A and B are shown apart, each in its own frame.
Chain A
């Protein structure tokens, strides 16, 4: 009976948290798929979302304010980052990686300066718990799950049925081809970055609410996103979702069943193995220079 309950806890927890991982990974993979660059500030964007919500709470703006802040500020930041720095460096993915890496350090260090290294609690979004077959889970997790999937669903509709969304798919497949049919890739890139920023912000809100907010919270997420995106395939939304569930389950299972000090190791090992054996992942394309 105990094992069943443990297994159930693991499965449900993994199922719910993976939705969030998927949201984060999708943003990351879109930027790579569309722009061909690795945005190493993606993790810091998550942190930004969490702290935006925290400050909104401090300023007395309540839950709605926190939600709004956690979405708007990172989205704005991402857009500015693209326009201000990345766009100029589009031909040099290496410089983009280095620049975004330094930007992430700036953000994290700014938080260290103003908030120190202690964890901060965010305004509680939802209280209470619910139970499935005897195992209890926080309502927050459930909300996280539902909201993430709603967003993923909306994104799916957006990408497949709206003009801009299809533009994103087009650019992600071929820059030249897309520009030949009149799609302006810089506009598409900007939209992609904003979307990715918004997703990261929401994820930051949830993660900060569920755990706590700290300056380094984005780092582990960034690494996790690498694994997910590589396994799922660069540029593939579907791949990110499936990859998120694979990695999510693997991670939760490892930390619960084997040892909690192995946190983060399993996704890393998977990442390296996939990179060596099948770099395109499940649904991705070969990275072509």
Chain B
């Protein structure tokens, strides 16, 4: 099954407003988040198909981060339902979501500054057990090392985050998320501040991950690196759904063009 067919099916499946739990690995129905008087997310509904790379696009302030904070459990939504792998998970705390297989990177890069890259990744691999003999003998280091190499930090294993360049920090974020062995990975604004070759390199990594069975949702406000990467896109603005479809479809969508200051999207 090619990625195109999946995207087409997805586009038709979500035309009707009703989202049901089985619509995808992640299904969100009527998500609403209010902060006092401010409505950040306004009855948003969408579904993420297994093994697709979904782009979540919108201008700054559109509510992308808020949506994902609600989905990943950072805070509960004011209203609406979130299903993951068919089960309702609305309001489940973040560490639970991670245990269920949903991982995320942080746009603002929050690594642990007091330890090396290797140990940062190793933390993600630790079990949620209080008393354990694990770790006394340096377990996990082999596996953590493998992940670091995977994300391109193989030669920086023992550096601290402070010593990493910007691209390295992003890779570390990916490494930490991968350490939790996720089925669904939410990547928050990865391409900001990356050079052309770095964008390509990260995109290749994400594609590899998808080919190995992972589902990816990539959030960004900038279309540049995103369009070649994603199978399908959801565009939101002012907290609600603006458009949905394949990259070509949304590029040619007049409302989307208008949202980005009327005109070309590159």
Question: A and B touching (C-beta < 8 Å)?
Answer: no
A: which residues have CB within 8 A of B?
Answer: none
B: which residues have CB within 8 A of A?
Answer: none
